[in-house]
Each structure stands twice: as C-alpha cells, then as structure tokens.
Structure 1
Amino acid sequence: MSDTNSVNGIYPQTPAMFDATYQPDQLIAGVYPRVTDNVTLASGNGIVARGTAIGLVTATGKYIPSLSAATDGSQTPVAILADTYDTTSADVVGAGVYLTGEFNENAVTMGTGWTAATLKAAFRPNNIYLKSAVSAADPT
C-alpha cells in the first residue's frame, strides 16, 4: 500500500499553514503544582507581559501590575500572568494567571519598588515560590 500524501516519505507543508517554533522563557522553575485561573486585567496598563506579578485593585475587582508603593490593594501581589496581554484600550476579560507554583525570579517581571527578595516574601503566603537556582539567560 502506497502513501499518496508523501513524496519519498516527506510530507509537504499544507498551504496556509505555518510552523511555529517553541521559545522557552524559563518562567516555570519547578514541579510545585500550578493552579491557574482567569481574571480581568484593568485597561490602561499597556502591554502586560507573561510573568508579570499582579495585584487586585480592591475597589474594582480588576488586576494590574503590582507596585510595592500602591495603596489600592494591588500592592499585594497575588498572581503571575500566564500570557502577554494588551490592556492599552480595554479591559482584558479572562486573562490567564498562575495562583500557585514555582517560578524563576529572573523571568518574573517585577513592578516598581519590588526586588526579588521582597517579592519572594510577599508571594510566599499564596504558595507562589520564586527561585533563583535557574537562569533566565538564553542557553546559546
């Protein structure tokens, strides 16, 4: 029986399809169980990158990048963004976040006022653990 979809065992690419290349970002840094959820990111924060530490604004119930000097509730980091989102002109409903897990402190985006040590301590009550044992540098 011959394979009519291949030429000498080589399968041609399908028109209108593309090959995506996986680019590891080294955000995940261990096997501690990751719990995810969906939240609403508040508009007006531009492009918010995967790995950003976020906090909950108490008055609105929406999330924004956590700044240590904030006074609206978001000064308490409660999650890490699972993907990159554009909040420039509208809220993002259903943004994926990590509520628990082990993450590479070198790959986490920290808001103004946070250091790896202070963010590590702030995340600990939520079972989010920042680790420095891995590098976020490109392995090439």
Structure 2
Amino acid sequence: MSCITEANNLGDLLKYEASNIYSRDQVTVAKGQNLSLGAVVSKKTDDGLIKVLNPTATDGTQIAIGVVISDVDAKAADAKAVMITRIALLADCILVWPTNITEEQKTAAIKQLETRGIIIRKGV
C-alpha cells in the first residue's frame, strides 16, 4: 500500500482565532519575497510592505507582526496576501522562520507576536 504525503495547510497552523474578520488582515507582500504558509513576517517602516522577518535589520523588518496563512509568490511583483495579525493560537511546528535566526531572536519574535495576542504553542 502506498503512502500519501499531504502538504501543510491552514488547519495545521491555526488552532484558534477570534472572528477571522478580526484576526486576519489583507496585506501587500514586497516584491522579491517567496513566502510559505506559516512564515513569520514584519512590515517595512518606509513603505508598509510585508517582508520576511529579519531580526538584524533596522527598517522595521526586525519586528514580528504576524504570520501568513498561505503560500505567497511575490518574486516578480508585489502580491496580496492574508495574514494573522492578532488574537490567535498557532502551532509552533508549522511556523517558518528565517534560516539564520538564532534561538534568542526567535524567542524575542515570539514575544513580539504575543503582544499582538498571537500565542505560539507546541503542536503536531
């Protein structure tokens, strides 16, 4: 019997949210980004566009503000996306972090998300 492997989906990531009209926002992802479901993101201060979290930056992208809820291909141009921005419970094992993030930076980003009511819990 063959085994079927299914990609992660929103139900794997999102364990609870307030009304989705309240917990989610439509945003614009900056050109050059290719984000996966569960990517922890930030907002660039000067243009308000969403980018992957960069803990060493000084342009606003060092502050975690939410998590995208679907894959977003903005390699060629800015793209619309939906993200969790407040009052939600997310599974930690589905979050997508920058490849070079340290444990200390990850802990700081989780605390930043918690200030927005986004709680990260051990998940399966």
Q: Using structure 2 for the length normalisation, give the TM-score.
A: 0.79
Question: Between Structure 1 and Structure 2, which shows a larger proportion of strand residues?
Answer: 2
Match of 1:117 in 2: 107
Structure showing greater Rg:
1
Aligned Cα root-mean-square deviation (Å): 1.8
Is contact 1:79-1:98 (8 Å) kept?
Answer: yes
Q: CA 1:24–1:53 in 2, change beyond 3 Å: closer, same or farther?
A: closer
In structure 1, list runs of 5 or more residues that go unmatched: 1-21, 136-140
Instruction: Flag the structure with higher helix content.
Output: 2
The whole-number CA distance in structure 1 between the counterparts of 2:90 and 2:120 is 5
Moved runs in structure 1, 4+ residues, more than 4 A? none
Deviation at 1:70, TM superposition (A): 1.3
TM-score with structure 1 setting the length: 0.71
Instruction: Spell out the pairing of 1:101-140 with structure 2 (5 A cutoff).
Output: 101-111=88-98, 112-115=100-103, 116-132=106-122, 134-135=123-124
Does the CA contact (< 8 Å) of 2:63 and 2:109 recur in 1? no
- Structure 2 residues not aligned, in runs of 5+: 1-5
Sequence identity percentage: 17
Q: Residue 95 of structure 1 is aligned with which of 55, 67, 81? A: 81
| From 61, 69, 92, the counterpart of 1:74 | 61
